[in-house]
């Protein structure tokens, strides 16, 4: 089939009935549930972009194997040009959603592409696993599917490993093998956008210990698989709030969910890894599923930071406070943050490495540096927005106020900004800012930036340890050699 349209994506959603729970109720119709409606439209818009002549050449290509047009997210990059092609898809999808939707379809499509293109690693443990991930890649590529993923165990007792938890199946694990497949039981989190996706892929971060064999798993399933239960967090908006009053929160809420597997059958051809602690611990480093998706996340993070920076700059300008040195200093800092991330992304592409199988991997160090910096830079951008907007963030009237002719004169007079900025423009701008820096929606997208790909503290520690292993401290060593106590003191 190749690239889907938005209508085809929605049609597929309507044809399924996954077990989704929201605020104590089983959702009857995903498409008609207000909290999912706008995000579904946003995702459909991305699918439609693939058919739009304005974007098509930039974000899709013809698949060598099938002759069908497919997303660049499914391209196995072999060169700098291929990395650029992938970046264009990431960038256009991120721009269309202002970087606020982290798990657009390109993200997991890149994960599966990378797992499949490096599946020789799995072949060594079990040739069936490698074969399965390669055919799964073709399945999602040729049907242009949208995936969620659940890679974290529920947050119960983090001081204990999976097999040491109070119940053997609190964390998702294999119960038994059957002729048809594996029976799995337990929970995984945090499946962002799960209710509106086609399928879920389950795998894990490294960290398995001996005894954790049954939890060392990787597989994929359609979301409406019997026994798979999706428990959503509380919705942040009910679909009743005005899209004018909450321009971002009303459109871009990505629902997060815990997935509970109640003795779910995973057919053997959907099992990519099982009962092998060593393979599970090596899955990330050996299949490039940290680096390739980090390219997508870096591009998306850049767009989100740029958007927050621009909103902060515009609110400062709209009320004339960017005339002050302190405000210029704060905004200059944000612009420099954006430029730093932009530069790091470019370096990761220029300095890509080519693996033994010929795959172009964006460079590790700059991508990990982005991963370390964004959890600080994005919250800082939000803090600057709060400081600059100050009380003005809390004075915005509503859409309904603007609609009432009795209030109109007061609104136009008392809510206007500096000369040339109308009340409506100023209020509109502050509403964008409030969604980002005040609403629960804004807090969630901030929390996302901290944690979406693991704990930034442990990730930075891993980065340092890798750096220590792979690099000598040659300048420091050289200085110690030259400035030795025993060396002669030279004078000019």
Binding residues (CB under 6 A) for ligand FAD: these are 103, 149-152, 155, 158, 190-192, 256, 444, 447-448, 451-452, 454-455, 457-458
**Which residue number, 148 or 276, has a Cβ lying nearer to ligand FAD?**
148
Min dist. Cβ of residue 454 to ligand FAD (A): 4
**Which residue number, 27 or 255, has a Cβ lying nearer to ligand FAD?**
255
CB 249 within 8 A of CB 441: yes
3-state secondary structure 354-393: ECCCCCEECCHHHHHHHHHHHHHHHHHHHHHHHHHHHHHH
Which residue's CB comes closest to ligand FAD?
192
**Which residue number, 375 or 392, has a Cβ lying nearer to ligand FAD?**
375
**Which residue number, 102 or 392, has a Cβ lying nearer to ligand FAD?**
102
CB 39 within 8 A of CB 249: no
Min dist. Cβ of residue 358 to ligand FAD (A): 30
Min dist. Cβ of residue 218 to ligand FAD (A): 12
CB 348 within 8 A of CB 362: yes
**Which residue number, 157 or 412, has a Cβ lying nearer to ligand FAD?**
157
Min dist. Cβ of residue 452 to ligand FAD (A): 5
Mark 57-71 as b/e (b = at least 16 C-beta within 10 Å).
ebbbbebeeeeebbb
Query: Tokens 């379809």 appear where?
Result: 105
Cα(455)–Cα(487) distance, integer angstroms: 46
**Which residue number, 25 or 158, has a Cβ lying nearer to ligand FAD?**
158
Min dist. Cβ of residue 289 to ligand FAD (A): 12
Q: DSSP for 102-113? A: TT-HHHHHHHHH
Min dist. Cβ of residue 442 to ligand FAD (A): 12
Give the residue among 9, 10, 11, 30 at the shortest CA–CA distance from 20.
Answer: 30
CB 130 within 8 A of CB 120: yes
Output the six-digit token pair for 294: 């980090």
**Which residue number, 349 or 368, has a Cβ lying nearer to ligand FAD?**
368
**Which residue number, 59 or 257, has a Cβ lying nearer to ligand FAD?**
257
* CA atoms within 13 A of residue 184's CA, in its CB half-sphere: 34
Min dist. Cβ of residue 419 to ligand FAD (A): 41
Min dist. Cβ of residue 202 to ligand FAD (A): 9
Is the peptide bond between 190 and the residue preceding it cis, with omega within 30 degrees of 0?
yes
Give the residue among 142, 175, 18 at the shortest CA–CA distance from 71.
Answer: 142
């Amino acid at each position: 089939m190749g690239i889907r349209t938005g209508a085809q994506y929605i049609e597929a959603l309507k044809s399924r009935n996954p077990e989704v729970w929201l605020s104590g109720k089983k959702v009857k119709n995903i498409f008609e549930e207000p909290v999912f409606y706008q995000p579904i439209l946003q995702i459909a818009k991305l699918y439609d972009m693939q058919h739009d002549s304005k974007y098509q050449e930039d974000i899709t290509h013809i698949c060598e194997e099938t002759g069908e047009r497919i997303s660049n997210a499914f391209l196995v990059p072999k060169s700098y040009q291929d990395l650029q092609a992938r970046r264009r898809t990431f960038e256009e999808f991120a721009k269309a959603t202002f970087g606020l939707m982290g798990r657009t379809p390109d993200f997991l499509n890149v994960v599966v592409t990378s797992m499949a293109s490096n599946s020789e690693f799995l072949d060594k443990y079990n040739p069936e696993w490698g074969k399965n991930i390669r055919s799964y890649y073709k399945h999602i590529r040729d049907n242009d599917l949208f995936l969620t993923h659940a890679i974290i165990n529920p947050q119960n007792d983090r001081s204990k490993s999976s097999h040491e938890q109070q119940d053997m199946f609190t964390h998702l694990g294999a119960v038994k093998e059957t002729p048809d497949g594996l029976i799995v039981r337990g929970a995984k989190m945090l499946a962002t956008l799960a209710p509106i996706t086609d399928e879920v892929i389950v795998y894990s971060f490294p960290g398995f210990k001996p005894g954790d064999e049954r939890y060392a798993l990787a597989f994929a399933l359609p979301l409406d698989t019997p026994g798979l239960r999706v428990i959503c967090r509380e919705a942040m908006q009910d679909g009743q709030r005005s899209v004018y009053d909450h321009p971002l929160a009303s459109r871009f809420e990505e629902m997060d969910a815990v997935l509970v597997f109640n003795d779910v059958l995973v057919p053997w051809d959907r099992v990519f890894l099982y009962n092998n602690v060593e393979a599970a611990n090596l899955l990330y480093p050996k299949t490039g599923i940290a680096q390739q998706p980090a390219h997508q996340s870096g591009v998306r993070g850049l767009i989100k930071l740029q958007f927050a920076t621009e909103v902060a700059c515009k609110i400062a300008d709209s009320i004339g406070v960017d005339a002050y040195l302190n405000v210029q200093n704060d905004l200059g800092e944000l612009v420099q943050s954006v430029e730093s991330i932009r530069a790091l992304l470019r370096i990761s592409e220029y300095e890509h490495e080519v693996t033994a199988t010929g795959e172009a991997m964006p460079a590790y160090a700059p991508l990990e540096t982005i991963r370390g910096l964004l959890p600080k830079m994005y919250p800082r951008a939000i803090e600057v927005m709060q400081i600059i907007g100050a009380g003005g963030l809390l004075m915005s009237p509503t859409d309904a106020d603007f609609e009432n002719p009795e209030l109109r004169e007061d609104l136009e007079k008392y809510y206007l900004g500096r000369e040339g900025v109308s009340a409506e423009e100023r209020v509109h701008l502050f509403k964008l800012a409030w969604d980002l820096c005040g609403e629960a929606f804004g807090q969630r997208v901030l929390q996302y930036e901290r944690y979406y790909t693991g704990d930034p503290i442990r990730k930075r520690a891993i980065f340092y340890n890798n750096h220590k292993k792979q690099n000598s401290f040659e300048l420091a060593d050289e200085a110690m050699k030259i400035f030795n106590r025993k060396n002669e003191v030279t004078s000019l």
